[in-house]
Chain A
């Protein structure tokens, strides 16, 4: 049983970093704004996994609590983010990140 626990621990670290980098790639590469925001959620999920894995490994109670806080903040951010998307869509009838060019980048 101890080998499986260790496997979970190290495997999850690798999984978390993998998901995080995939989130970064998604954010840089995708042009659709909703897909960009999905990548940000993926990154936050990866961070959550990392924290819970460490909490499991070292038996820390802070882990689940931190995960709860991060999830709540992610929810709040998603709410405001989607509201801004809606406002932008109504203003421009379109939500492509590379076409947001009223302000030159």
Chain B
């Protein structure tokens, strides 16, 4: 009960920080906090597969790309805020401690909560083997479609972001 309420509060606070932060980098880091706490939430619900892919794909890939772009374009806005909002070390330390407590609490709970859902019985077994079998048998169409969308995303990203000279030719190697 206590763990769950803390988790709830941390998630909402993290989302609030995403909204109210002037600095884009801090907003992105707050979103990472939200994603990690959601992953812990998934662990509490016995969905370990979703928790892992949440951390790997969302927090680990998408947000890293966001931060790359923000750093690359130097999009940070500098606005003066009061000292308790400005001191990075304080907040960085607090966030790190929050991360650690979250993840360890979630992992601890994960090994002790029983696998019984509120309805009493599981309609289908949700383990990694049945999930992967389903992914290549019944759910093969969306699976193949995700490969198509990733290809479209790669083509689109390259077309939009590459450097071009006046004629529209790609600049592969910049002249010295």
Q: Which residue of A lies closest to B15 (CB)?
A: A22
Interface of A is mostly: helix
A56, B45: Cβ atoms closer than 8 Å? yes
B65, A19: Cβ atoms closer than 8 Å? no
Selected from B31, B131, B157, B160, the residue in CB contact (under 8 A) with A42 is B31
- What class of interface size applies to chain B in its complex with A? 35 or more
B119, A83: Cβ atoms closer than 8 Å? no
Selected from A15, A34, A52, A56, the residue in CB contact (under 8 A) with B70 is A34
A76, B153: Cβ atoms closer than 8 Å? yes
CA distance A67 to B114 in the complex (A): 22
Q: Chain A: how many interface residues by the 8 Å CB criterion?
A: 63
A45-B58, A61-B126 given. 6 additional CB < 8 A pairs? A34-B24, A34-B70, A37-B66, A63-B126, A65-B134, A76-B153
* 3 closest residue pairs by CB, A with B: A76-B153, A83-B157, A59-B122
Q: List 25 A-B contacts (CB under 8 A).
A: A5-B116, A8-B41, A22-B12, A23-B15, A34-B66, A35-B18, A35-B24, A49-B38, A56-B46, A56-B47, A59-B122, A60-B124, A61-B124, A61-B130, A64-B126, A65-B131, A67-B54, A69-B143, A74-B58, A75-B150, A75-B153, A76-B150, A79-B65, A79-B154, A85-B69
User: Which residues in B have some Cβ–Cβ distance to A below 8 Å?
Assistant: 1, 4, 8, 11-12, 15-16, 18-19, 24, 27-28, 31, 34-35, 38, 41-42, 44-47, 49-50, 53-54, 57-58, 61-62, 65-66, 69-70, 72-73, 75, 77, 113-114, 116-119, 121-126, 130-131, 134-135, 139, 142-143, 146, 149-150, 152-154, 156-161
User: Which residues in A have some Cβ–Cβ distance to B below 8 Å?
Assistant: 1-2, 4-9, 11-12, 15, 18-19, 22-23, 25-26, 29-30, 32, 34-35, 37-39, 41-42, 45, 48-49, 52-53, 55-61, 63-65, 67-69, 71-80, 82-87, 89, 95
